[in-house]
A = this chain, B = another copy of it.
Amino acid sequence: MAIKIGILGYGNLAKGIECAIKQNDDMELVAVFTRRAPESVKVWSGVPVYSVDELENKKNEIDVLMLCGGSATDLPEQTPKYAKFFNVVDSFDTHARIPEHFANVDAAAKAAGKVAMISVGWDPGMFSLNRLYANAILRDGNDYTFWGKGVSQGHSDAIRRIKGVKNAKQYTIPVDAALASVRACENPELTTRQKHTRECFVVAEEGADLAKIENEIKTMPNYFADYDTTVHFITEEELLRDHAGIPHGGFVLRTGKTGREGEHNHVIEYSLKLDSNPEFTACVLVAYARAAYRMNQRGITGCKTVFDVAPADLSPLSGEEMRAHLL
């Protein structure tokens, strides 16, 4: 019997989940739920589309509900709300507000006897896991996380809000020299500027003052002022042709010392190079949906993160198969 999955929302992440489920024989997408008019939403896989108002009526038809809203306003409301009816998985990624989100979701999920898996994806998610494993192993050491090369939606949006800008795409790029220093166990203390550069591809309105736009970008507080930023003005055609993708990725490193005198250095490195940020994130969510379902079947309830999930629960393989082929 396949695990029955529902999706709330139909943006890039939801579309990625739709594709990921097709790669997993033990899962089945049963419906998409939307806040829009259901008849206006055409879904690739052809599953039924229902109004979000129908969700509670479908609680016996769905094993795990994937919440594909945003972290700013959607998930803080949706995850506790739907954990009352479903095992849920979300990708809540506002790091500073995770403790508060956890508490709200935990209360709802425990009361309902459900598992609610929050902050799943790659950061938070796989990067967090790698920070935890590496810290548990190398107790005397330093952590480093680099992001990119990849598209930052927030920074791209910030550029688009500048007067005279028609469209824009911003790439976050790790600085090679900083990565090299970390890998060489030099334990550098890195400033914001030393870790990442920012590269912007900007389509200006006709007649706009390019020098003024460039200056506004480079001096924008929080977003760009603390970074070495490069601005390229290109045409709309070039933007669509060369910068249509949503790639991302990054590096998590921990270096640490062992031995009687701390005489031995070690480097643990995890990296991702992703053609599609939302599709990869979706794959992680689907694996954790399997775990949420299995854990709830064993009587586990409450809010969980990637830290609480035994790796075996993510895999469709049996224990015997895993030990024989992956261990």
Contact = CB atoms under 8 A, between A and B. Distances in A.
A81 interface: no
Interface string A128-148: 111111011111100000000
A156 interface: no
A16 interface: yes
A132 B259 contact: no
Interface in A252-293: 258-260, 263-276, 279-280, 282-284, 287, 290
Query: How many copies, total?
Result: 2
Contacts of A287: 136-137
A280 B259 contact: no
B139 A323 contact: no
A139 B259 contact: no
B272 A258 contact: no
A81 B119 CA distance: 42
Interface stretch (A58-66, A70-78, A95-103, A201-209): A95-103
Interface string A87-98: 000000001001
B258 A267 contact: no
A2 to B, nearest CB: 14
A175 B21 CA distance: 36
A170 to B, nearest CB: 20
Nearest to A283: B137
A280 B128 contact: no
Interface of A: 16, 19-20, 23-24, 44, 95, 98-99, 102, 119, 124, 126, 128-133, 135-140, 183, 258-260, 263-276, 279-280, 282-284, 287, 290, 305-312, 314-316, 319-320, 322-324, 326-327
Given A119-B327, A136-B315, A268-B271, 8 more contacts: A19-B258, A98-B323, A132-B314, A132-B322, A132-B326, A183-B273, A266-B272, A269-B269
